[in-house]
Amino acid sequence: MAEQLLVRVDPELKRKLNKFATMEGKTSSQVVRDLIEDYVKRRDVASYIDALWERIGKDLRSKGVAPADVTKAVRAVRKAKAGNAGRR
């Protein structure tokens, strides 16, 4: 079940919020929930990283790159890096 959050705002700000929300076919509560959700998402590093990997995966798939290709590339980079570490 959802919980309530009591927030105090300036009456003029509330009036404008209600006006704009109504213009968008939303309630002021829906707008505030959306804003809070967006605020938390922007600060949730794990979600950001998951979304980043999802975008990378979609981009690679759209270019015909298969998971095996990615695995092969990672192994090659790690092998080259290990080889370069021995030369220092």
The domain of 32 spans 11-85
Distances from the Cα of 1 to the Cαs of 4, 10, 24, 31, in angstroms? 10, 28, 26, 19
The reply to whether 63 falls in a domain is yes
Q: Give the pLDDT score at 65.
A: 92
The reply to whether 51 falls in a domain is yes
Q: Give the pLDDT score at 42.
A: 85
Closest C-alpha to 17, from 7, 27, 25, 4? 27
The reply to whether 4 falls in a domain is no
pLDDT digits (tens, 9 = 90+) for 31-73: 999 999 999 988 888 888 998 999 999 999 999 999 899 899 9
The reply to whether 58 falls in a domain is yes
The reply to whether 48 falls in a domain is yes
The reply to whether 39 falls in a domain is yes
pTM of the model: 0.53
The reply to whether 35 falls in a domain is yes
The reply to whether 65 falls in a domain is yes
Q: Give the pLDDT score at 88.
A: 62
Q: Please tell me the total count of domains within the chain.
A: 1
- How far is 36 from 32, CA to CA, in rounded Å? 6
